[in-house]
Amino acid sequence: MKVIRPIRSTDIDALLHMAQSAGAGFTSLPPVREFLQKKIDLSEQSFAADVDEPGHQRYMFVLEDVTTGTVGGCCAVEAACGLDEPFYNYHVGLTVHASHELQVYNRMPTLYLSNDYTGTSVLVSLYLSPDFRGGGAGRLLSKCRFAFMAQFTRRFAAKIIAEMRGVSDEHGRSPFWEGLGRHFFSIDYDRAEHVVGMGNKAFIAELMPKHPIYTLLLPPEAQTVLGRVHPDTAPALHLLEQEGFRYQGYIDIFDGGPTVEAPLADIRSVRRSRELTVKIGKGSGGGTHLISNTELAGFRCTLAELTPGTDSVELDATLAAALKVKAGALVRIAAL
């Protein structure tokens, strides 16, 4: 059985291995041990903090095989972005040039540097090791954050976003970066990506042009990838779309990947979740549900076949132990 739990300091080696394995595009977790340790420390502090509204907290989770204790995946949520430095995106807008006298009417897609997502909560750092893929592990890793947010709503913003990895080739070359970003910097995309991952995104963004950019002036290859995801990221995007996330015309300033968004209250797994009382028995089978306990620092979440009642749900002893709940405890479930 695989279970989601908060990350802890003893997971540093597993996290470093995942960061090293993820390859180009995993900007939120560069493979630098000291940097990753700070991320773990911040997560532990966030889970321990008494919070009334979203701030600088960052909640990080890992996917663990409860039988072996092996960690094979991670994900995180930043409670509020852009509080210390600007959080940049490009907004894909539209500029119209028209002349009645010349009978000219041109509609031109245009990129505007934007801070519109400041203060939103951000889904970040989703990675699943190849050995853990299959059996619903990817779905659990993506959706567990919604169970946590449904339980602790006031810790998060009213709007949730996710920046999806943009298109790059097998060598890590980004057509969007080559067509736009490279003209303002003397570094390759992988170097820019590393600088971003180390927390210097605002510094680089401030060197980007502040004036609107006509996309028609970009190379065709760069235009083609605007708002598109890397093939490896397509399954993650599909899972978010099932939850109600939508692309609203915002893209990453470096690789052109789409940002998707949803109101927290409208996310499917949040809206459909409910609390039930635990009964211990043989288990009831049934449909697949996302199920979590209601603890903060002791949060546990998994997928299980359940047939919930009106006020209670029956769990077998193995599932109850994995979730660290006893008879009479509350759990939160959502049908998938």
Say which residues have a Cβ less than 8 Å from residue 99's Cβ, sequence separation at least 6: 105
Ramachandran sector of residue 61 (left: φ over 0; alpha: ψ -120 to 50; beta: rest): beta
**CA-CA distance, 27 to 226, in Å (whole number)?**
19
**CA-CA distance, 309 to 306, in Å (whole number)?**
10
Helix (H) or strand (E) holding 191: helix 189-195
Q: Which residues of 109-140 are buried (b: 16+ CB within 10 A; e: fewer)?
A: bbbbbbebbebbbbbbbbbbbeebeeeebbbb
Q: Residue 230 catalytic?
A: yes
**CA-CA distance, 179 to 217, in Å (whole number)?**
9
DSSP 70: -
Catalytic-role residue among 171, 230, 238, 289: 230
> Residue 1 is which amino acid?
M
**CA-CA distance, 22 to 336, in Å (whole number)?**
28
Spacing of C-alpha 55 from chain mean position: 17
Find out whether 295 and 324 touch, Cβ atoms under 8 Å.
yes
With CA atoms as reference, report the closest residue to 24 among 122, 171, 164, 148.
171
Say which residues have a Cβ less than 8 Å from residue 137's Cβ, sequence separation at least 6: 2, 63, 72, 73, 128
**CA-CA distance, 9 to 265, in Å (whole number)?**
32
Quick check: helix, strand or coil at residue 244? coil
> Residue 267 is which amino acid?
I
Annotated catalytic sites, by residue? 230
